[in-house]
Amino acid sequence: MSRLRSSGGNSAVTAAGCRGGRLDGTANSADRLMSGTATRNGPSNTVEEITQTARAVRSLADHLDRHPEALIRGRLRSHAMTPRLIPVLLILTLTACASSPPTRFFALDAVAPRASPAAQRAAGTSAPVKVDAVHIPPALDRESMVRGASGNQLEISSQDRWAGDLGEMIRRVLTQDLAARLPPGTVIAPDSPAPASARGIVLDILTFQPQSGEVVLDADWTLVQGTQSNPVLRRSLRLTEAAAASAQGQAAAMSKLLGELAGRMAADIAEASRSGGR
């Protein structure tokens, strides 16, 4: 399963779910409620008190929109308000949170090779390799999941998010996929030191998102010896995988495409080793 179920971090999920427009709605509701209270109560001191509290609510909403972690860490001391009106804010905030959908987190998974690992690994040998870098477009380099839409538009989800940095997640999953397709000990883990003889892989992703019912992976990759200025081989490819119209389907299809990419990389790396480098 590509979806992650949160455990022990429910406060962070709740804080994320109450950001943006929902906090603005809370502040607007507070403004309306406090304006009604001012009309009923009448005295100038009550009006002034409620006006100050309304401003504090608005300030708090803006602050939480920029720093949702403050709900967890308790850094709200600068947003003081009249104590007897604090329950009003709490009720409005809890109502907004209760009506918002939960934030869901997804991860990419390694995919087993289609051929038996033993047969595929015996197809060729190579020098040690390491995935040195993965570059993704700025539009995809975000927590929220992104889908292509018609008319040169992108849909950025406010509910479905990646469980970690997408570029680093791709790098680690690709490393796992390569390790399942190349001889044991050939692939070096991302944070492990590499010997002088190791070759590096640089992946430059141009497109990696759902478009018209399928996920498209458009990428260039380079195998380098020593430095990136000394390429051993370069490849460009475009891969597609049918995907369900859901965040789970998107994550599963992207995982399959990384597995297919790793298979093609493994074959090209083995061929380059047999032919003496190029």
pLDDT in tens, 173-231: 999 999 999 999 999 999 999 888 899 999 999 999 998 889 999 999 999 987 666 78
* CA–CA gap between residue 172 and residue 164 (Å, rounded): 11
Rounded to an integer, the average pLDDT of 39-67 is 64
Three-point CA angle 22, 26, 29, nearest 5°: 130
Taking 50 as the threshold, does the pLDDT of residue 233 lie above it?
yes
Q: Is the pTM of this model over 0.85?
A: no
Taking 60 as the threshold, does the pLDDT of residue 18 lie above it?
no
Indicate the helix (H) or strand (E) that contains 70: helix 70-73
Q: What is the pLDDT of residue 261?
A: 97
Tell which CATH architecture fits domain 105-274: 3-Layer(aba) Sandwich (3.40)
Record the tokens describing residue 33, joined without a space.
Answer: 């409620």
Give the highest mean pLDDT range of 41-55, 98-112, 206-220: 206-220
pLDDT class for 11, splitting at 50, 70, 90? very low
261-274: b (≥16 Cβ within 10 Å) or e: bbbebbebbbebbe
Q: What is the pLDDT of residue 12?
A: 35
pLDDT in tens, 119-133: 455 455 568 999 999
Record the tokens describing residue 22, joined without a space.
Answer: 């929902």
Q: What is the pLDDT of residue 122?
A: 43
Residue 203's nearest CA partner among 184, 187, 223 is: 223
pLDDT class for 69, splitting at 50, 70, 90? low
Integer angstrom CA distances of residue 187 from 24, 45, 130, 203, 231: 50, 72, 6, 15, 18
Domain definitions of the chain by residue range: 19-99, 105-274
Residue type, 190: P
Taking 70 as the threshold, does the pLDDT of residue 93 lie above it?
no
